[in-house]
Amino acid sequence: MAYIIERNHRFYVVAYDGIDPLTGRERRRWHPAGRSRIDAEAIAATLERSAARVVPVFGAPATLGAFLAEQWMPRRRTQLGQTTAHRYAWMIDNYINPRIGNIPLRSLRVEHLDGLYHALLTTGSRDGGPLATKTVYDVHVIIRSALADAVRRHLVDTNVALAAHAPRSTPRARQGPETWTASQLSQFLTGAAHLRLYPALHLAAYTGMRRGELAGLRWGDWQRATHRISIARSRQVVGGRSIEMPVKTRTSRRCVDLDPGTEHVLERWHRAQRRDRHPVDLGDPIFTNRHGDPVHAESISQLFDRHLARADIPRIRFHDLRHTHASLLVAAGTPIKVVSERLGHAHPGFTMATYQHLVPGMSATAATDFANLITTHRHDHSDQAGVHR
């Protein structure tokens, strides 16, 4: 609906655009038409015809929330991992739809998105406090991707998320060290040896496995004849349930060589599991809870955190055991390609870029070695020059 207003001998066409769900106020757009009422009437007629042509697409959802829930998210589930799909759906249900889900898809404006992001940044968390900038940006990514899909399907003309002021997070400085020294790791493992799930902590430290990979191990993955263990699956917590799924990437599917001490730890754990009458056939999980069910990946990291809180060593994350494993190997001179294969990285270059800075002495050693090499040859040439004189 459009109507004409005259102010100070100038005409304006005002187009009614519904109720803003963020403010509860009516939304109107003003179109200047100059000093001619005839021009104003022409603009109003054009707006009315344009509004009349905007008819719902057959089968198209009426609102943003309906589009996200009924069309976009079901398609995305087939393209995403289970954990990512669950996270997307949770953000839609808890951050997007309660605030702007009832806005008609074709009426969505940049102001709606800017208002959403501002609300999340100030009162978006569960306790009514600010939501992390990174989380709000992830919400923006979901909306931007969904609207891009709506444009491709001719449900809307433009992707208004491209013009929205989305917050971008900046890297946050980590508190404390990212890795332990060999002495600190040894101290932690010695103090944790009495824990029931100590074998999981030991295996993480000695192989660099991720917690989900540890939880996904089966007894058949341990190849005793070749002293290796295969990593072929992972267990992740999705919606509070432990779900088995493929490993993170193609290169994450790998075999890792085990040292005799680690195999001894696994052998003792195998006997303990059998003694507790937990299943230990080839297809059964290696790590279980006290009831014999597959252990949750989060239980392993929570055990690590509880024990670390009582230890007199620097605080790190469970995932930093993986960094510690890699950095100690690099410091010991292990070829980067070997370290990369143990961790399941896609390319040795990534391993080098990630862990070389954790060994500050390597560059200094290289500089000294190079200088010694050139000095030695200079002495040889000097001696030869003295002979020729």
What are the beta bridge partners of residue 218? Answer: 285
Q: Which residue has the tokens 């003694």?
A: 275
Given the candidates 1.10.8.60, 3.30.499.10, 1.10.287.10, 1.10.443.10, the CATH classification of the domain at 182-356 is 1.10.443.10
Between residues 350 and 355, which one has the greater pLDDT? 350
Contacts of 188 (CB under 8 A, 6+ apart): 180, 307, 308, 311, 313
Architecture per CATH, domain 64-163, reads as Orthogonal Bundle (1.10)
CA distance to 23, 81, 112, 278, per residue, from 92 (Å): 21, 17, 15, 41
Could you report the per-residue pLDDT of 58-68, keeping only the tens digit for each? 455 689 999 99
Nearest alpha carbon to residue 304 among 289, 321, 288: 321
Where helices occur in the chain by DSSP H, the ranges are 37-53, 64-67, 73-77, 82-91, 97-100, 110-123, 133-152, 182-192, 198-207, 211-215, 260-275, 297-309, 320-331, 336-343, 348-355, 361-388
Residue 347 is predicted with a pLDDT of 85
Give me the chain's average pLDDT, please: 84
Structure tokens at 200: 């999981």
Composition of the chain by helix, strand, coil, percent to 5: 55, 15, 30
SS3 234: strand
Alpha carbon of 185 to those of 101, 214, 215, 255: distances in Å? 50, 18, 21, 23
Q: Which amino acid makes up residue 378? A: R
Q: How confident is the model at residue 226 (pLDDT cuts 50, 70, 90)?
A: very high
Model confidence, pTM = 0.63
Indicate whether 102 pLDDT > 60: yes
Return the number of other C-beta atoms located less than 10 Å from residue 339's C-beta: 23
